[in-house]
Structure 1
Amino acid sequence: MAKWVFKSVFVCFLDLSTLLKMDIKCCGILISLMFVWTGLVIGPVVTVLISVGNSAVVIGLWPAHLIWTYYCVAKTKRLGWVLKIALLVSLPVPLILWPIVANIGSLLGGIGYGFFAPLIATFEAIGESITCKIYHCFTDGCISTLKRSCTVVRDFTDFCFHSYFSYMDELSEEIYPDEKPIEVKLSKLPSCILVSLLAIPVDVPLITALALWKSPFMLFRGWKRLLEDLIGREGPFLETVCVPFAGLAIFLWPLAVVGSVVASFFSSFALALYSGVVVHQEDSFRMGLAYILAAISIFDEYTNDLLDMREGSCFMRPKYRRNMISSGGLDSKKLIEQRKEKEKEGSHSLKLVSHGSRTLKQAIQQYTPMQVWGWLFKSCEVNGRILLREGFIDVKDIEECIVKGDCKKLGIKLPAWSILQCLLASAQSDSLGLLISDEVELTKSNWPKDKVFEWFLAPLLVIKEQIKTLQLGEDEEISLRKLIMCYKNERPEEWDNTGFPSTDTVRRAQLQAVIRRLQGIVGSFSRVPTFRRRFKNLVKVLYLEAIQTGLIAETDGGSSKAGNRNRHQCAKGDKNNTDDDGEQNEQSSRDGDSIV
Structure 2
Amino acid sequence: MNILKGFLPALWSFVSFLPFFLLLLALGIVKAVLIGPVASVIIFVGNSSVIIGMWPAHFIWTYYCVIKTKRLGLALKLFLLVVLPVPLLLLPPLIMLGSLLVGIGYGFIAPLIATFEAVGENVVNKFYHCFADGCAGTVKGACTLVVDFTDFCFYSYFSYMDDLCEKVPVGDKPMDVKLTKLPSCLLVSLLAIIVDVPMISIVALCKCPFMLVKGWHRLFQDLIGREGPFLETACVPFAGLAIMLWPLAVIGAVIAAFLSSFILGLYGGVVVHQEKSLCMGLAYIVSVISIFDEYTNDLLYLKEGSFLPSQA
Matched residues in 1 for 2:76 and 2:106: separation?
A: 40
- The 8 Å contact of residues 229 and 236 in structure 1, kept in 2 or not, is answered as yes
Question: Hey, what does 2:16 align to over in structure 1?
Answer: 14
Matched residues in 1 for 2:31 and 2:41: separation?
A: 16
Match of 1:215 among 208, 216, 220: 208
Structure 1 residue 113: deviation in Å? 2.2
Does residue 1:231 correspond to 2:224, yes or no? yes
Rate the CA distance shift 1:12–1:157 in 2: closer, same or farther, 3 A: farther
- Whichever residue aligns with residue 63 of structure 2, its letter is Y
Alignment of 1:88-99 (within 5 A): 88-99=81-92
Question: Hey, what does 2:283 align to over in structure 1?
Answer: 290
Match of 1:155 among 148, 169, 179: 148
- Whichever residue aligns with residue 311 of structure 1, its letter is E
- Whichever residue aligns with residue 247 of structure 2, its letter is P
Structure 1 residue 161: deviation in Å? 0.9
Structure 1 residue 228: deviation in Å? 1.5
Question: Hey, what does 2:77 align to over in structure 1?
Answer: 84
Question: Hey, what does 1:63 align to over in structure 2?
Answer: 56
- The 8 Å contact of residues 203 and 292 in structure 1, kept in 2 or not, is answered as yes
Q: What is the aligned residue count?
A: 303
Question: Hey, what does 2:182 align to over in structure 1?
Answer: 189
Question: Hey, what does 2:307 align to over in structure 1?
Answer: 314
Rate the CA distance shift 1:118–1:269 in 2: closer, same or farther, 3 A: closer
> What SS does structure 1 have at the residue aligned with 2:177?
coil
Alignment of 1:463-542 (within 5 A): none
Question: Hey, what does 1:171 align to over in structure 2?
Answer: 164
- Whichever residue aligns with residue 181 of structure 2, its letter is K
Give the alignment's Cα RMSD to 1 decimal: 2.9
- The 8 Å contact of residues 12 and 244 in structure 1, kept in 2 or not, is answered as no
- Whichever residue aligns with residue 216 of structure 1, its letter is P
- The 8 Å contact of residues 51 and 106 in structure 1, kept in 2 or not, is answered as yes
Structure 1 residue 306: deviation in Å? 0.7
Alignment of 1:318-329 (within 5 A): 318=311
Does residue 1:32 correspond to 2:32, yes or no? no
- Whichever residue aligns with residue 182 of structure 1, its letter is M
Structure 1 residue 123: deviation in Å? 2.5
Please list the CA deviations of residues 311-357 of structure 1 after superposition, one character each: whole Å capped at 9, or x if unmatched. 233344349xxxxxxxxxxxxxxxxxxxxxxxxxxxxxxxxxxxxxx
Rate the CA distance shift 1:262–1:53 in 2: closer, same or farther, 3 A: closer
Structure 1 residue 308: deviation in Å? 1.1
Alignment of 1:384-395 (within 5 A): none
Structure 1 residue 205: deviation in Å? 4.1
- Whichever residue aligns with residue 39 of structure 1, its letter is V
- The 8 Å contact of residues 294 and 304 in structure 2, kept in 1 or not, is answered as yes
Please list the CA deviations of residues 270-311 of structure 1 after superposition, one character each: whole Å capped at 9, or x if unmatched. 323322211111111222222222212211211111111222
Unaligned runs of 5+ in 2: 1-9
Matched residues in 2 for 1:9 and 1:111: separation?
A: 36
Please list the CA deviations of residues 360-400 of structure 1 after superposition, one character each: whole Å capped at 9, or x if unmatched. xxxxxxxxxxxxxxxxxxxxxxxxxxxxxxxxxxxxxxxxx
Please list the CA deviations of residues 456-508 of structure 1 after superposition, one character each: whole Å capped at 9, or x if unmatched. xxxxxxxxxxxxxxxxxxxxxxxxxxxxxxxxxxxxxxxxxxxxxxxxxxxxx
Does residue 1:120 correspond to 2:131, yes or no? no
> What SS does structure 2 have at the residue aligned with 1:183?
coil
Please list the CA deviations of residues 58-97 of structure 1 after superposition, one character each: whole Å capped at 9, or x if unmatched. 2221111111111111111111111111111211222222
Matched residues in 1 for 2:162 and 2:261: separation?
A: 33
Which gives a bigger RCO, structure 1 or 2 (Cα 8 Å, sep 6+)?
A: 2
Matched residues in 2 for 1:76 and 1:10: separation?
A: 68
Matched residues in 1 for 2:231 and 2:223: separation?
A: 8
Greater CA drift, 28-37 or 99-108: 28-37
Does residue 1:203 correspond to 2:186, yes or no? no
- The 8 Å contact of residues 63 and 81 in structure 2, kept in 1 or not, is answered as yes
- The 8 Å contact of residues 13 and 27 in structure 1, kept in 2 or not, is answered as no
Matched residues in 2 for 1:11 and 1:128: separation?
A: 18
Matched residues in 2 for 1:217 and 1:202: separation?
A: 24
- TM-score by length of structure 2 reads 0.84
- Whichever residue aligns with residue 191 of structure 1, its letter is S
- The 8 Å contact of residues 13 and 244 in structure 1, kept in 2 or not, is answered as no
Question: Hey, what does 2:39 align to over in structure 1?
Answer: 46
- Whichever residue aligns with residue 305 of structure 2, its letter is G
Match of 2:104 among 105, 108, 111: 111
Alignment of 1:318-397 (within 5 A): 318=311
- Whichever residue aligns with residue 265 of structure 1, its letter is F
Does residue 1:102 correspond to 2:104, yes or no? no
- Whichever residue aligns with residue 104 of structure 1, its letter is L
Unaligned runs of 5+ in 1: 1-7, 17-23, 320-596
Please list the CA deviations of residues 5-42 of structure 1 after superposition, one character each: whole Å capped at 9, or x if unmatched. xxx999667337xxxxxxx3x874564244213321x2
Does residue 1:74 correspond to 2:67, yes or no? yes
- The 8 Å contact of residues 27 and 115 in structure 2, kept in 1 or not, is answered as no
Match of 1:254 among 231, 247, 252: 247
Rate the CA distance shift 1:50–1:253 in 2: closer, same or farther, 3 A: same
Matched residues in 1 for 2:255 and 2:96: separation?
A: 21
Does residue 1:143 correspond to 2:136, yes or no? yes
Matched residues in 1 for 2:43 and 2:21: separation?
A: 32
- The 8 Å contact of residues 48 and 95 in structure 2, kept in 1 or not, is answered as yes
Structure 1 residue 167: deviation in Å? 0.4
Rate the CA distance shift 1:79–1:136 in 2: closer, same or farther, 3 A: same
- Whichever residue aligns with residue 92 of structure 1, its letter is P
- TM-score by length of structure 1 reads 0.46
Greater CA drift, 293-302 or 255-264: 255-264
Task: Indicate the structure with greater helix content.
Answer: 2
Q: Which structure has the larger Rg over C-alpha atoms?
A: 1
Matched residues in 1 for 2:21 and 2:146: separation?
A: 35
